[in-house]
Amino acid sequence: MDSAQPQQINNLLRHGVVTTVDHARALCRVRTGEAHTDYIPWLASAAGTLAVWAPPSIGEQVTLVCSDGDLANAVALRGLYCDQYPAPSDNADLVTVKFSDGAVISYDSASHALAAILPSGGIATITADGGVTINGPVTINGDTSITGQVTINGKAEASEDVVGGGISLKQHKHGAVQPGSGTSGPPA
């Protein structure tokens, strides 16, 4: 047995902490014990026609897989929770993605609830040239602005006044109105 072989076997898997991230090259450096890797790749959850970009954070704990026990051949495997980056939930029914700005996207399979919570000032955009369909009741809490045509197949109710083309449904007046069974003219 080669005298270096036990050390190489010990170095096949090592734990470390990300110290530097090169986003342009998708590489990171990792401190493991007293050693520090050169720039090495991290394992992405998908890197083909489906690609997921989620670079590691400085201070994130990783496991190094080192081909031949050599740190120069290491790949960083992410996904170890630590004090600096604890698990975002302890709910077994919840899949949660938590972002660095505090935004959270989660799905609770027990309550069948999907949630996207953005920090103050956050913006959500859906772009779909083919259209968007929502099947089910919709509640909007906030001001709403629509650019384009609106078609309603059903009843529309408003608890306040409705204004169309600058004319109030409650406040407009009709001129040339005579009592009886006649029809009034258009709004004044």
Residue type, 80: L
Q: Which residue has the higher pLDDT, 184 or 101?
A: 101
Lowest pLDDT segment from 21-35, 102-116, 168-182: 168-182
Residue 176: the pLDDT is 66
- The pLDDT value given to residue 183: 67
Task: State whether residue 101 is helix, strand or coil.
Answer: coil
pLDDT tens for 3-33 read 666 666 777 999 999 999 999 999 999 999 9
Per-residue pLDDT averaged across 125-132, rounded? 96
Can you read off the two tokens belonging to residue 150?
Answer: 């609106």
The encoded tokens of residue 165 equal 């083309």
Delineate the domains of the chain, giving CATH numbers in brackets.
5-80 (2.40.50.230)
Question: Which tokens hold the place of 16?
Answer: 């470390």
Q: What is the DSSP letter of 51?
A: B
Beta-carbon-side half-sphere exposure of residue 61 (alpha carbons within 13 Å): 12
pLDDT digit string (tens) for 130-164? 999 999 999 999 999 999 999 999 999 989 988 88
- The stretch 85-101 carries a mean pLDDT of 95
Q: Report yes or no: 40 and 7 within 8 Å, Cβ to Cβ.
A: no
- DSSP secondary structure string for all residues of 53-94: --PPPTT-EEEEEEGGG-GGGEEEEEEE--SSS--S---TTE
pLDDT tens, residue by residue, 36-72: 999 999 999 999 999 999 999 999 999 999 998 899 9
- Exposure class string for 97-123: b at 16+ Cβ within 10 A, else e: eeeeeeeeebeeeeeeeeeeeeeeeee
Residues of the chain with pLDDT > 70: what percent? 89
Q: Is 176 left (phi over 0), alpha (psi -120 to 50) or beta?
A: left
What is the C-alpha to C-alpha distance for residues 21 and 66, in angstroms, rounded to an integer? Answer: 19
